[in-house]
Structure 1
């Protein structure tokens, strides 16, 4: 079975040794005079925390590797969920490993039992995942809302045709054996790499497999549509993004630190006449002077109204995220339009010939890393390792030949649009 190999290259395994986590936690402890306490470790090294062996990240240095990160023994001994955020998971600590099989085969390593919390086909399984992926700081600010976003979406519906769980997306299944034991039957086993958007930035197992899994998820998360309404002296370009398959808002998680943006360029008469969101390699997104930049994400503000990305200082959060669908019925009171538009006005004496657009993502902003590097808490090599992903289904090229005539949903005028429907 591949479970351990997959987990060994996961962000769960990386959680306790991640240098960005270590640097940010050290900054938080210093700036709060230690008041940050176990806020980070309770999710980044939960078993060590529950056993009373770690209160801060520095405590992890003295512990054996099997107590670092989010481990097999922690997740598979959860027997109840007692809240909605900041890891309120109850551990049985009885040595029984819980999982999705109703008839687990006996083995000499540990007793086994079925648990709906560990069965990705059960809606309740998202409660186990979600409570560490929903974070509220000491001021009551809901910093990370992945679980809450899922709960508000149609994916948490009782309708089996609409519902989807965390595990169905992040732990895809295949037929295989779950243990190296005689007589173990072929079952549906699930990927324990548990990819999201974050990646290991140091030498770590399974790095290429991890990045490939992240790319696969991103390639199917959003779709886009590009329409051009021609006007005298230029054109209006309407770009639509639709969050069709992320299962929650996009971006999600640590949206204070995520960097997502639209790159759009336009050419006429063989020359570049417009660009927005063109970010050179190694350049922080938020250093751009770009009034048209479309960058879904969040910004935090302290009690004095000053912008901050330090979560322990955030007293208010402003978010502009791409929402998940809440219902398929446009007449329902909780309906949310997930077909989100943005208009670009492009002056050009010549007719536009080509427009290219795509959505790009950095799991963490280079400006955030620069702050930690400047404090001497992070190796500059970590910055160089931060990837920039392109979301495959959002990459569009508009030309007159490729477009079809439609009525623009934004302006109600005739427009030339791609992709063709």
Structure 2
């Protein structure tokens, strides 16, 4: 866990890092290694200090959700409401992850004074990760920060320099599975009771990864968090003479969350998110002709996410399936069709297929705020468990839904469609959750209009289309039994044989 004992007086920290740091930065990039480094702990805490020698990494980080974490108006709104509704019992539960250094140095205890703090204490900055010396738990940010002048990283032979000491750490090395504990223990959240209605494992990304085949050793197909979220390239780690090219890693950290206010590199960040989402799922559409109509079945497979899909704050995410069937150009069936400003949960759609966590209070009523949650029910798709198709666990990543559903009247199409399309759509946070915060007076209503909707693409296509002709394709077409008859199927990408 983070040591909550303040390491320095907050006022001294703010002055030292803002004033002294500027002059120190200018002389920090050299290959000298004096006995006393020129930069203090307070100066090293400031990402602007790091920018002087690590301009590329800084620029990437500056547009990331790590940098945005404490500026996010949705976080601010939910934290303020949580403090009010729990009479302050929420404490540093939220801000301990969104501004961990601010909590660690005693600059905040509840996140309600973040506007009074300097940028260097907001978000998840360079020092918080690169000064981590141990992971002392599995959830709720149990990282142990050294508060020394040594910056840790994945490089085994760092170049000596006059800015700080350098040290290899497997916790910061994406080639080591140990690094997943540094990432994962911050991305698993367990709500204690109190202040929660019950102890709830709210966010489970690390635990989900541990259950997947990606937690195996690399020789057995394992991949760390950084393998996907911090891709590598050839480059230099610092901007000064004597630094050789080596493998360096992106610090953009794309996942699904987005900045809703003016922030650096928002367009680039959304493009990186789309790239992360691309080819996460394989979709298959099967259509069976019956004597008096037809039925459809959609199969989704999680083929590449190293955890369930969706993951993280899955109770806030909105992922759903849009299905449309046509006779000629006229739609004869639709499910999951929603415009950009309508909450998907508002659809009067008995067949609506959502992939998410559904949150309920102790009276089994749906709730949005995590401190009200007593239980969760998940419809998310598990991550891959095995590559062996003979193992029953292989198919745990495959989920199916028949259209029209059993609750529809009628529960079949009146006629055989000429064309069927499927899209899987994602909103990082549900509009219904934002509406709740707007209605309580904690969030600006204009932010709702800025919430994007992503489409999960497969093989470059956001829509999978079924036709009889496409079902005859030797690569993407197939036939199998559905509703007691032979169905014709089309998949977005070939299934592993």
Name the TM tier (shorter chain). Answer: over 0.9
Residue 283 of structure 2: aligned partner: 224
Equivalent residue for 1:87, pick from 118, 141, 161:
141
Residue 397 of structure 2: aligned partner: 338
Residue 362 of structure 2: aligned partner: 303
Separation in structure 2 between the aligned mates of residue 56 and residue 254 of structure 1, nearest angstrom: 20
Residue 447 of structure 2: aligned partner: 382
String of CA shifts for 1:144-193, please: whole Å, max 9, x gaps.
Answer: 00000000000001352410110010011111111011010001111101
SS at match of 1:236: strand
Within 5 A, what are the aligned runs for 1:99-178?
A: 99-138=153-192, 139-158=198-217, 160-178=219-237
**Kindly tell me: are residues 45 and 275 of structure 1, through their superposed partners in 2, closer, same or farther at Cα, counting changes over 3 Å?**
same
**Kindly tell me: are residues 336 and 133 of structure 1, through their superposed partners in 2, closer, same or farther at Cα, counting changes over 3 Å?**
farther
Equivalent residue for 2:479, pick from 387, 407, 421:
407
How far is 1:303 from its partner? 2.1
How far is 1:203 from its partner? 0.4
**Kindly tell me: are residues 318 and 339 of structure 1, through their superposed partners in 2, closer, same or farther at Cα, counting changes over 3 Å?**
same
Separation in structure 2 between the aligned mates of residue 334 and residue 388 of structure 1, nearest angstrom: 32
1:43 has 2:111 as partner = no
String of CA shifts for 1:329-381, please: whole Å, max 9, x gaps.
Answer: 35658655212111113744443111110100000000110111112211112
**Kindly tell me: are residues 210 and 270 of structure 1, through their superposed partners in 2, closer, same or farther at Cα, counting changes over 3 Å?**
closer
Separation in structure 1 between the aligned mates of residue 446 and residue 151 of structure 2, nearest angstrom: 39
Larger Rg: 2
Equivalent residue for 1:241, pick from 292, 297, 300:
300
Higher mean C-alpha displacement, 348-357 vs 34-43: 348-357
Separation in structure 2 between the aligned mates of residue 227 and residue 68 of structure 1, nearest angstrom: 50
Separation in structure 2 between the aligned mates of residue 349 and residue 318 of structure 1, nearest angstrom: 34
Between Structure 1 and Structure 2, the one with more helix by share is 2
Higher mean C-alpha displacement, 278-287 vs 49-58: 49-58
Residue 272 of structure 2: aligned partner: 213
- Residues 407, 413 of structure 1: 8 Å contact kept: no
Separation in structure 1 between the aligned mates of residue 229 and residue 199 of structure 2, nearest angstrom: 28
- Residues 288, 482 of structure 2: 8 Å contact kept: no
SS at match of 2:186: coil
1:367 has 2:432 as partner = yes
Separation in structure 1 between the aligned mates of residue 247 and residue 481 of structure 2, nearest angstrom: 44
- Residues 100, 116 of structure 1: 8 Å contact kept: yes
Residue 418 of structure 1: aligned partner: 490
Separation in structure 2 between the aligned mates of residue 165 and residue 201 of structure 1, nearest angstrom: 29
- Residues 12, 69 of structure 1: 8 Å contact kept: yes
Residue 57 of structure 2: aligned partner: 3
Separation in structure 1 between the aligned mates of residue 320 and residue 363 of structure 2, nearest angstrom: 28
1:56 has 2:113 as partner = no
**TM-score when normalising by structure 1:** 0.96
How far is 1:56 from its partner? 1.5
Separation in structure 2 between the aligned mates of residue 74 and residue 143 of structure 1, nearest angstrom: 23
SS at match of 1:143: strand
Separation in structure 2 between the aligned mates of residue 174 and residue 158 of structure 1, nearest angstrom: 22
SS at match of 1:132: helix
Separation in structure 2 between the aligned mates of residue 174 and residue 347 of structure 1, nearest angstrom: 51
Residue 408 of structure 2: aligned partner: none
Residue 69 of structure 2: aligned partner: 15
1:392 has 2:457 as partner = yes
- Residues 294, 414 of structure 2: 8 Å contact kept: no
Separation in structure 1 between the aligned mates of residue 161 and residue 57 of structure 2, nearest angstrom: 16
How far is 1:327 from its partner? 2.0
1:321 has 2:393 as partner = no
SS at match of 1:351: coil
How far is 1:409 from its partner? 6.2
Where structure 2 has 5 or more consecutive residues not aligned to the other structure, the ranges are 1-54, 193-197, 405-410
